[in-house]
Amino acid sequence: KRRRRSKPGAVALREIRRYQKSWNLLIPIAPFVRLVKEISAHFAPGIQRWQGEALVALQEASEYYLVSLFEEAMLCAIHAKRVTLMKKDFELARRLGGKGQPW
């Protein structure tokens, strides 16, 4: 028996819904911790140790920020009658959302 082929985009929409329902952190922990330590070493050389809870809180806040930025950028792309996200969508979403620079 042959497998049914999904319509283009149906699998992507299914994945989006699955990730929207989940509460798991999507960015792998080890690379995120390395990035945080690298950035903190650059801006605050005195801080070398991080509590695990602080790293988890920082990761949750980062993922929340990124998800909301992607949502707003997608709305900007849809408003421009496009399906593809572009750099200008992110720039407009940041300006309209009052987020400005993330730091």
What is the set of domains in the chain, with CATH numbers?
25-96 (1.10.20.10)
Q: Which pLDDT does position 5 carry in this prediction?
A: 86
Per-residue pLDDT tens for 67-90? 889 999 999 999 999 989 999 999
Q: Which pLDDT does position 19 carry in this prediction?
A: 85
- Report residue 101's pLDDT band, with 50, 70 and 90 as the boundaries: low
Q: Which pLDDT does position 30 carry in this prediction?
A: 96
Q: Once rounded to an integer, what is the mean pLDDT over residues 47-72?
A: 93
Q: Which pLDDT does position 43 carry in this prediction?
A: 94
Residue 64, pLDDT > 80, answer yes
Q: Which pLDDT does position 52 carry in this prediction?
A: 94
CA dist 76 and 86 (Å) reads 10
